[in-house]
Amino acid sequence: MTTFQDFITQATPPAAARAAAARAVLDTIGVTLAGAAEPAARCVQQVIAQDGPCRVLGTAFRAGAADAALANGTAAHAHDYDDMCFVSLAHPSAPLVASALAAAERAGASGRALLDAYIVGFEIEGRLGRAMNPRHYRKGWHCTSTIGTIGAAAAASRLLDLDPVAAGHALCIAASEASGLKDNFGSMVKPLHAGLAARNGMLAALLARAGMTANPGVIQGPQGFLAATDSEHDPKDLGAFTEDLGARWEILDTGITVKLYPSCAATHPALDTLLDLKRRDGFSADDVDAIEIGVDPVTPTVLIHDRPADGLQAKFSMPFCAAAAIVRGRVGIETFDDAQVRDREIVSVLQRVRMSVDPALDGSAPPLTQARVTVRLRDGRVLEACANGARGYPERPATDEELAAKFMSCAVRALPLSRAEQALAAVRAIESIPDVRTLTEVI
């Protein structure tokens, strides 16, 4: 069995895994730039010590590695536009990229080293996700923050060149830092979760490098991380999920889901289906009598705002997202402006949307990936379709052109057009960059 700490220090990811990581880094840097001016990100920027070697993307600020990771991780998740993994049930890249970028800047590491560190963190998150979910997630833990803290610590440990013993201590320090509660979905604290995971992972690696030690059994112990946070499987069985580390690559087998809508991933299958039905049948908001959306049992624990009060809550509201898609014919960053939540036409349709658990959906499918959509029109027509995943999922991956278009639409919210284009070119070439600091100077 390969231990986590040995994997951190010894793993040699294949080229295909590195290519997948490069796409994830590109997407994440784009959404970080878009999120840098959001209220949650600005709050963090006001309180961090703005003096250090690491860039706070989309701003003129610099900070220490841990503070920069906090700021960039929060910004990356501010629009809920960052990617997803349906094994870890986390947004993996917001904490991983923020932590790895700060560690790489601090260490003067190459772009290739950053990608390898990202993959190491992603793989460890995937194994923990398989062991812990769905029970851990259903219980109320936000995996982006809990599992994400462990992954961020692994990525930072790799870039800071920790030996296996120190890397093991870093993970165990991170296990005591990990937290994040789903009841904060729809508030500024949700993006903060990603920032805290990045910061705490970075801090754990720095503390371990400075000589701090932890109980080496804290992840699997009787009162350790897995037991305390309601792991699906017995903590003693973790070895069954880690034995293929380095032989099988979760980033390739499961893949990364790129989000093409800036709302909770649980809304995406239904949004795809509604927009397809609207394009196909040409109905308007006034034509709709009722919309019924059947979902899996986990989805209602995530989409907790039936009648959202603001744009943040709207991202976790199936009625709002469905109504906005029908009224506007698209869903973008501007959809979640607070003014849209009060829009009379959207509110009118919202009141005709009902979400409920559909027992006929495939219970073996990953949570948040399925939906049954029924649109009842005033003329008596009934339109129905089932969704299994959405655009951007590994089975229907975003094209290079879609990724570039998303990056540019996000980047220009923080950078002039010419600089955004320069940033896109630089991030696309990340694997060949000898020092990550030449990349962050451009962004």
Assess if residue 394 is contained within a domain. Answer: no
What Å distances lie between residue 165 and 159, 217, 276, 320, CA to CA? 15, 13, 53, 49
Cα dihedral across residues 61, 33, 437, 149: positive or negative: positive
Please tell me whether residues 92 and 68 are part of one structural domain.
yes
Q: Last residue of some domain: 363, 388, 413?
A: 388
Please tell me whether residues 176 and 217 are part of one structural domain.
yes
What span, in angstroms and rounded, lies between the C-alpha atoms of 372 and 286?
A: 22
Helix (H) or strand (E) holding 150: helix 143-159
Going by their DSSP bridges, the two strands 62-63 and 54-55 should be labelled as: antiparallel
The pLDDT value given to residue 2:
79
At 86, is the pLDDT very low, low, confident or very high (cuts 50, 70, 90)? very high
380 in the Ramachandran plot: left (φ > 0), alpha (ψ -120 to 50) or beta?
A: left
Per-residue pLDDT, averaged over 105-112, amounts to 98
Assess if residue 224 is contained within a domain. Answer: yes
| Amino acid (one-letter) located at 252 | L
At residue 1, does pLDDT exceed 60? Answer: no
Please tell me whether residues 345 and 407 are part of one structural domain.
no
- The residues that bridge with 63 in the sheet, in sequence order, are 54
Q: Which residues of 345-370 are buried (b: 16+ CB within 10 A; e: fewer)?
A: ebbebbebbebeebeebeeeebbbbb
| Residue 12 burial (10 A CB sphere; 0-12, 13-18, 19+) | exposed
Phi (first) and psi of residue 63, to 5 degrees: -155, 170
Q: Last residue of some domain: 366, 388, 410?
A: 388
Phi (first) and psi of residue 356, to 5 degrees: -150, 160
Quote the pTM value.
0.94
What Å distances lie between residue 344 and 237, 320, 323, 327, CA to CA? 53, 12, 11, 10
- CATH number, domain of 373, equals 3.30.1330.120
Assess if residue 25 is contained within a domain. Answer: yes
Please tell me whether residues 205 and 306 are part of one structural domain.
no
The pLDDT value given to residue 177:
98
Please tell me whether residues 82 and 114 are part of one structural domain.
yes
What span, in angstroms and rounded, lies between the C-alpha atoms of 72 and 337?
A: 22
Assess if residue 46 is contained within a domain. Answer: yes
Terminal alpha carbon distance of the chain: 41
Ordered DSSP codes for 203-263: HHHHHHHTT----TTTTTSTTSHHHHTT-SS-GGGTHHHHTTBTTB-HHHHT--B--SSSS
The pLDDT value given to residue 180:
98
The pLDDT value given to residue 301:
94
Alpha helices per DSSP H over 238-366: 239-242, 250-253, 268-281, 311-314, 318-328, 338-341, 344-350
Please tell me whether residues 203 and 318 are part of one structural domain.
no
Assess if residue 393 is contained within a domain. Answer: no
Please tell me whether residues 273 and 255 are part of one structural domain.
no
Please tell me whether residues 60 and 74 are part of one structural domain.
yes
At residue 365, does pLDDT exceed 80? Answer: yes
Count of domains observed in the chain = 2
What span, in angstroms and rounded, lies between the C-alpha atoms of 295 and 269?
A: 10
Ordered DSSP codes for 49-109: ---SSEE-TTSS-EE-HHHHHHHHHHHHHTTS-S-BBTTTTB--HHHHHHHHHHHHHHHT-
Please tell me whether residues 207 and 322 are part of one structural domain.
no
- CATH number, domain of 21, equals 1.10.4100.10
Please tell me whether residues 218 and 270 are part of one structural domain.
no
Helix (H) or strand (E) holding 114: helix 111-132
Assess if residue 343 is contained within a domain. Answer: yes
Assess if residue 249 is contained within a domain. Answer: yes
Model pLDDT for residues 368-424, shown as the tens digit of each residue: 999 999 999 999 999 999 999 999 999 899 999 999 999 999 999 999 999 999 999
Domain that holds residue 271: 265-388
Q: How many CB atoms lie within 10 A of CB 286?
A: 11
Per-residue pLDDT, averaged over 119-145, amounts to 97
Q: Which of 267, 329, 335 is nearest to 84 (CA)?
A: 267
**Mean of per-residue pLDDT scores for the chain:** 97
At 38, is the pLDDT very low, low, confident or very high (cuts 50, 70, 90)? very high
Please tell me whether residues 403 and 383 are part of one structural domain.
no
What span, in angstroms and rounded, lies between the C-alpha atoms of 408 and 27?
A: 10
Determine the 3-state secondary structure of 193 from DSSP.
Answer: helix
Please tell me whether residues 245 and 360 are part of one structural domain.
no
At residue 171, does pLDDT exceed 60? Answer: yes
Helix (H) or strand (E) holding 411: helix 400-411
